Amino acid sequence: MKKLSTLFGIGALSVVLFTGVPNHSFATSSTPDSVTDATYSKFVSVNKYYDGKVTPRQTITYNSHGYSGTLTLDDYAYDGTMTLASYSGYVNCSGLCPIE
């Protein structure tokens, strides 16, 4: 009888010990460390060159390396042969994007 109560006590103790330990799980990803799938935005600046003296568009569409959005004209200048336009704005990740 004493042997049975000892076995029962050991069994009950092991159940309490193992169920009381928190279970940790860690998510793994099959994508490289340098790529993210989260909603992410970043600020970009783009310079565009136009032949001749022109008035550039007020906005352009940006779509590069998984990021896309609309950039607005910051400034432009004519150098005698071509027009340089500077655009900037925030673009959003639309899929897998490199982390910079």
Asked if residue 2 belongs to a domain, the reply is no
Instruction: Report the domain count for the chain.
Output: 1
Q: What ranges make up the beta strands (E) of the chain?
A: 35-36, 41-51, 59-64, 67-78, 82-93, 97-98
Give per-residue pLDDT as tens, 25-65. Answer: 333 333 444 544 456 899 999 999 999 999 999 999 999 98
More confident residue, 91 or 1: 91
Range of the domain at 81: 29-98
* pLDDT above 70 as % of the chain: 60
Confidence (pLDDT) at 40: 86
Q: Which of 81, 56, 82 is nearest to 71 (CA)?
A: 56
Whole-model pTM: value is 0.59
> Does a structural domain hold residue 37?
yes
